[in-house]
Chain A
Amino acid sequence: MSSCKSRLLLRCSVRYGLLPFISSRPPLACQRTGVSLLLCRHQQSDSSSNSSSSTDTSKKEPYSKFLTRNLKMWGGEIYDRLVCSNLDTMFDTTRSMWRFAGTDSFKDFQVLTDQDIGGQSWAKLEPSRNNKLLFHGNLCTTVPRDGETARSGYCSLKSKQQFVSFNRKKHMDLTPFNSLNLRLRGDGRAYMVNIMTEGYFTDYHDDIWSYFLFTRGGPYWQDVSIPFSKFFLSSRGRIQDRQAAVDLELVNAIGLTMADAIDGEFALEIDSIAASYDATHTEEFAYEMYHK
């Protein structure tokens, strides 16, 4: 029992920035955690994205059923927290977030293209010939003729927002790690890796941290490791002057963007996405912050 207690204490202290190696994080992030746990601000659009039940989306779920399901989920979450079921992986230096094998393994991902704004690019998510995730399509920079759009041509792959009980957003906590590892096989084009985090204020909702991903092309797999310190902040497609390191405590989604302004087909095969801790990398943020 005492060991369980100490685990809980450790977990809480890691979470709330009480341990020395975490305490350099900005204090706002800690406040945000508490607030987002208390408030249920986000309405979930369809109930089927909850993994525990596979209800028909067209039929409205009765309230009693919704309550039962969510209470059960909530109970599970509390139980998980009490028994620390992730204890065996808690101190790992690597966490494999996605390892792709077959169609089922990429149901967490969605594809967004510029067809949403009237563009002509397309992209698909398919199993590749050796059953990995193949993100391929055609990029077309033709600007839609709506009279106001100035530029077009993007295809992006994004992990879906996950939800826990009572339609609360589920966040990935990547604070133990300092680099993102991808194993992939590309076609020589440049992509962009994006990290979307939970922003407390409305102004922060469009914040995306990104970095470039250069692919080698060819038949050999490529291991890419990008330190989180290299990710720079942009909002609505514009790099911000006031930069900040990515808030790894509340990561909503991770994605890839193909938008290198070259018309033509692209193909990117991804084997796995993982986060890892590299003790030799000590950089906290790669860009200057003059206002501080």
Chain B
Amino acid sequence: MATIKFLRSAIYHLSASRLPATRTVLQQSALQTKIIVGPACHSAQIHTCQQRRAEIGRGNIHPSKLEKSSLAISKTLFEEATLAEVNKETFRKVVKTFTEYDKRRRGHIQFIETALRYMKDFRVEKDVDAYNALLDVFPKGKYVPENVIQSIYNHFPEQQICAIKVLQMMEDNTVLPNNETKDILISVFGKRAHPVKKYQRLMYWFPKFRNINPFPLPKELPTEPTKLSEIGLKRIAEYEAELKVYYLNGTTAESENAEFIANAQSPEQRELLAEHPPVRPLYVEGAFHLWLRSSKLTYFVLRGDPFALGDEGASDQDVPQTHAEGPVFAMCMTNSNSQETLQSWIKNLQEDNPHLARIPVIFNLFNLGESRTEPVRSLPTETQLIGDS
């Protein structure tokens, strides 16, 4: 197997060097090689210089001659920068400081791996320029293979693995590389290196899957819970559903930590609810969860009982009917999820649906994960009737 691989890459190198220079990016990506991914990204040992830390407090931040030649500089640099201000500019400054320390850029792999860890702290993990600045730390031209043998064997493997880690981090944070990234990688590692291949793979697959989600969300999700639940309800409710936000306990839209109930109900649902026979109870079911990217919302559903309207004979056929679900009449999202809030939701719903006051409402609240011992159709232990009885 190894021989085949060897021969294949040898032939590839020879053939590739003879090809015209105008090969497209995608043609290159068609050739498959196995990426050698190193150990976990936290494997790099990072040293801290206690003496230097102590000097920061005294205002002496210029590196000594000894420190300039030592490998233990990278973490200290970032620690210092976090003391002042964390933004894109300081991150760039740290990278610049490192590149100017030493002409030979000693310890740059260690520096890049440390920088990858600090990216989140500097809030630059979504910023392609920051990644480009990091990749720019690699010295140019030094790692480009010059002959067939170097090309077949992994030329400067540690450096290539480090660059792949940077690209992997871009992938994890869904950052699309740009042309600058390509130019840097090619000038550092040459056209056929593994980081360049990784770049090509990213450029091939990322745009392919970028817009395939049929339920798209805005790029930046709002932080206010009312706005968030509005997006959530619009996603799960019918197209015609009307959204209404009720504020509770005297809070308003402007007040902080406003207690609210966001309600979604379509005109059709309102009509259905108006025809609901008062002898049949309605159920408030929940809590169900809805994820909008990484934020979890909770919603409740007002349902009818599972039997169809005016279909008396249907209740005799037991098997398929017992597990059916009733029609949905309304949905809501609140910030407190307590039964009291849900009761006031029903009260607020009665403004638009006067018929609801005559129907008993049963609160069927559960956690999805917990195991049930009761059969599916039994009434919940905690029942509460609202409306005139």
Residues of A within 8 A of B (CB): 101, 124, 126, 129-132, 134, 136, 143, 147-150, 187-190, 212, 214-220, 238-242, 261-262, 264-267, 287-291
- Using an 8 Å CB-CB cutoff, how does the interface string of B193-207 with A read, 1 for contact, 0 for none? 000010001000100
At the interface with chain A, which of B35-43, B255-263, B346-354?
B35-43
The 5 A-B residue pairs whose C-beta atoms are closest, nearest first, are A218-B236, A290-B30, A241-B32, A188-B291, A150-B40
Total cross-chain contacts (CB, 8 A): 108
Q: Are A241 and B328 in contact (CB under 8 A)?
A: no
Number of chain B residues whose Cβ lies closer than 8 Å to a Cβ of chain A: 48
State the majority secondary structure of interface residues on A.
loop
- Minimum CB distance partner of A239 in chain B: B205
Least Cβ–Cβ distance between A286 and chain B, in angstroms:
8
Which of B212, B290, B324, B371 is within 8 Å of A188, CB to CB? Answer: B290
Q: Are A187 and B289 in contact (CB under 8 A)?
A: yes
Q: Which residues of B contact A131 (CB under 8 A)?
A: 323, 376
Taken together as a complex, chains A and B put the C-alpha atoms of A219 and B291 apart, in Å, by 14
Q: Which residues of A contact B331 (CB under 8 A)?
A: 218-219
Q: Which residues of A contact B325 (CB under 8 A)?
A: 130, 219
Which of A101, A147, A217, A265 is within 8 Å of B236, CB to CB? Answer: A217
Q: Are A242 and B32 in contact (CB under 8 A)?
A: yes
Taken together as a complex, chains A and B put the C-alpha atoms of A237 and B303 apart, in Å, by 42
Taken together as a complex, chains A and B put the C-alpha atoms of A149 and B213 apart, in Å, by 30
B61 within 8 A of A: no
Q: Which residues of A contact B100 (CB under 8 A)?
A: none
Taken together as a complex, chains A and B put the C-alpha atoms of A134 and B303 apart, in Å, by 20
Taken together as a complex, chains A and B put the C-alpha atoms of A254 and B68 apart, in Å, by 57
Taken together as a complex, chains A and B put the C-alpha atoms of A131 and B376 apart, in Å, by 8
At the interface with chain A, which of B79-87, B88-96, B133-141, B293-301?
B293-301
- Using an 8 Å CB-CB cutoff, how does the interface string of B124-166 with A read, 1 for contact, 0 for none? 0000000000000000000000000000000000000000000
> Given that A241-B201, A261-B172 are contacting pairs, would A214 and B213 also be in contact in the complex, using a CB cutoff of 8 Å?
yes
Q: Which residues of B contact A129 (CB under 8 A)?
A: 372, 376
Taken together as a complex, chains A and B put the C-alpha atoms of A39 and B283 apart, in Å, by 58
Which of B29, B32, B368, B372 is within 8 Å of A136, CB to CB? Answer: B368
- Minimum CB distance partner of B292 in chain A: A188
Taken together as a complex, chains A and B put the C-alpha atoms of A43 and B350 apart, in Å, by 65
Q: Are A150 and B39 in contact (CB under 8 A)?
A: yes
Q: Are A126 and B371 in contact (CB under 8 A)?
A: yes
- Minimum CB distance partner of B372 in chain A: A129
B214 within 8 A of A: yes
> Given that A216-B236, A220-B328 are contacting pairs, would A288 and B26 also be in contact in the complex, using a CB cutoff of 8 Å?
yes
Q: Are B201 and A217 in contact (CB under 8 A)?
A: no
Taken together as a complex, chains A and B put the C-alpha atoms of A212 and B40 apart, in Å, by 27
Q: Are A214 and B371 in contact (CB under 8 A)?
A: no
Residues of B within 8 A of A (CB): 26-27, 29-33, 35, 37, 39-41, 43, 172, 197, 201, 205, 208-209, 212-215, 232, 235-237, 288-294, 296, 299, 301, 303, 323-325, 328, 331, 368-369, 371-372, 376
Q: Are B201 and A189 in contact (CB under 8 A)?
A: no
Q: Are A219 and B288 in contact (CB under 8 A)?
A: yes
Taken together as a complex, chains A and B put the C-alpha atoms of A212 and B211 apart, in Å, by 12
Q: Which residues of A contact B39 (CB under 8 A)?
A: 147-148, 150
Taken together as a complex, chains A and B put the C-alpha atoms of A290 and B23 apart, in Å, by 12
Taken together as a complex, chains A and B put the C-alpha atoms of A258 and B328 apart, in Å, by 28
Taken together as a complex, chains A and B put the C-alpha atoms of A267 and B232 apart, in Å, by 17
Least Cβ–Cβ distance between B100 and chain A, in angstroms:
32
> Given that A130-B324, A218-B290, A220-B328 are contacting pairs, would A136 and B369 also be in contact in the complex, using a CB cutoff of 8 Å?
yes
Q: Are A264 and B205 in contact (CB under 8 A)?
A: no
Taken together as a complex, chains A and B put the C-alpha atoms of A242 and B31 apart, in Å, by 7
Q: Are B201 and A290 in contact (CB under 8 A)?
A: no
Which of A126, A190, A239, A265 is within 8 Å of B201, CB to CB? Answer: A239
Q: Which residues of B contact A143 (CB under 8 A)?
A: 40
Least Cβ–Cβ distance between B217 and chain A, in angstroms:
9
> Given that A130-B323, A242-B30, A264-B296 are contacting pairs, would A189 and B291 also be in contact in the complex, using a CB cutoff of 8 Å?
yes
- Minimum CB distance partner of B371 in chain A: A126
Q: Which residues of A contact B235 (CB under 8 A)?
A: 188, 216-218
Least Cβ–Cβ distance between B345 and chain A, in angstroms:
16
Taken together as a complex, chains A and B put the C-alpha atoms of A189 and B41 apart, in Å, by 27
- Minimum CB distance partner of A132 in chain B: B323
Interface pairs (12), CB distance under 8 Å:
A147-B39, A148-B39, A148-B40, A212-B209, A214-B215, A217-B236, A218-B236, A219-B288, A219-B328, A241-B29, A241-B201, A265-B369
Q: Which residues of B contact A101 (CB under 8 A)?
A: 323
- Minimum CB distance partner of B29 in chain A: A241
Which of B37, B201, B290, B369 is within 8 Å of A187, CB to CB? Answer: B290
